[in-house]
C-alpha cells in the first residue's frame, strides 16, 4: 500500500509536530513526511522541520485580504507536495470551509481538553478555572465549527489538588504526544471511518 503523505500546520513551538514526525521516521506510522506550513514567522516548529530535513513555508496572513485567499496559498502548497493528511499541530487559526472542503475528512486536530467541554483557546486554563476533577485531550477531524468535529481518541487526565494551570497543561501535553501520533497511524493504516458523529476504528 502506498504510504500517505502527512503535512502539518503549526503556529508555535511544534512539540506535537515533533511527536508525529518522530513516529513517521521510526516507522511506527506508515506514512511519509510532507511539509510544514506556519502562519507565524517566529514559530519554533521551523527549527524542527529543519532538523528532520522537511520543507517548510511561512504563509503570512497579513499579506492576504481575507482568510480564504490565505488558505488558497496553503492549499496550493499542500497539493504541490501530494499531501494526503493534514495535521493541525498547535495551529491557532480557525480553518474556513474552503480548506475543509478541499481536504474533507483528512484534517486531524489535537485539542487539550475532553471535548465537547472547553472548546477554543486556553482550554487547560478554562478547565482549571472551572474546577473540574478530570480534564484531558482529544484528537478529532476538523469540521466547520470550533473543535466540533468527530472525535477519534480521548485521554482523561486527573486534576490534582496541587495543580496549577501550567502543571495541568504539561501533563495534558504528554498525553497529546501519545494520542496524536496514534490517530495519525490509524489514518495512514486506513483504519478510521466516519459514521455521522462517530469515528469507527477497525481492528
How far is CA 113 from each of CA 18, 58, 139, 170, 174, rounded to the nearest angstrom?
A: 20, 28, 10, 12, 13
Query: 186 lies in which domain range?
Result: 4-201
In this prediction, the residues of the chain whose per-residue pLDDT falls under 70 are none
Residue holding cell 492576504? 64
Check 111, 122, 140, 177 and give the catalytic one. Answer: 111
pLDDT, residue 161, reads: 95
C-alpha cell recorded at residue 163: 495543580
| Domain count across the chain | 1
Q: What is the CATH number of the domain that holds 112?
A: 3.40.50.170
Q: What is the pLDDT of residues 34-77, one digit of tens each?
A: 999 999 999 999 999 999 999 999 999 999 999 999 999 999 99
The structure's pTM equals 0.96
Q: What pLDDT is attached to residue 139? A: 98
Residue 6, number of CB atoms within 10 A of its CB: 25
The answer to whether the peptide bond before residue 116 is cis (omega within 30 degrees of 0) is yes
70 catalytic per annotation: no
Rounded to an integer, what distance in angstroms lies between the CA atom of residue 107 and that of residue 62?
Answer: 24
DSSP 12-25: S--HHHHHHHHHHH
Q: Which residue blocks in the chain are alpha helix, DSSP H?
A: 15-25, 45-51, 67-80, 97-103, 123-130, 165-188
CA angle 7, 201, 93 (to 5 degrees): 35
Amino acid at each position: 500500500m502506498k504510504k500517505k503523505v502527512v503535512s502539518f500546520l503549526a503556529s508555535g513551538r511544534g512539540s506535537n509536530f515533533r511527536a508525529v514526525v518522530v513516529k513517521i521516521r521510526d516507522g511506527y506510522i506508515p506514512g511519509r513526511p510532507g511539509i510544514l506550513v506556519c502562519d507565524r514567522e517566529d514559530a519554533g516548529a521551523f527549527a524542527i522541520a529543519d532538523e528532520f530535513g522537511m520543507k517548510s513555508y511561512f504563509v503570512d496572513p497579513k499579506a492576504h485580504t481575507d482568510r480564504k485567499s490565505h488558505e488558497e496559498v496553503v492549499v496550493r502548497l499542500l497539493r504541490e507536495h501530494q499531501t494526503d493528511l493534514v495535521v493541525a499541530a498547535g495551529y491557532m487559526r480557525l480553518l474556513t470551509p474552503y480548506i475543509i472542503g478541499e481536504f474533507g475528512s483528512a484534517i486531524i486536530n489535537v485539542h487539550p481538553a475532553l471535548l465537547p467541554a472547553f472548546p477554543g483557546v486556553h482550554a487547560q486554563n478554562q478547565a482549571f478555572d472551572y474546577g473540574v476533577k478530570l480534564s484531558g485531550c482529544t484528537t478529532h477531524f476538523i469540521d466547520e465549527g470550533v473543535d466540533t468535529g468527530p472525535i477519534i481518541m480521548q485521554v482523561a487526565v486527573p486534576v490534582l489538588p496541587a495543580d496549577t494551570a501550567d502543571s495541568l497543561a504539561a501533563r495534558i501535553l504528554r498525553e497529546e504526544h501519545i494520542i496524536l501520533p496514534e490517530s495519525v497511524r490509524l489514518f495512514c493504516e486506513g483504519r478510521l471511518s466516519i459514521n455521522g458523529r462517530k469515528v469507527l476504528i477497525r481492528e
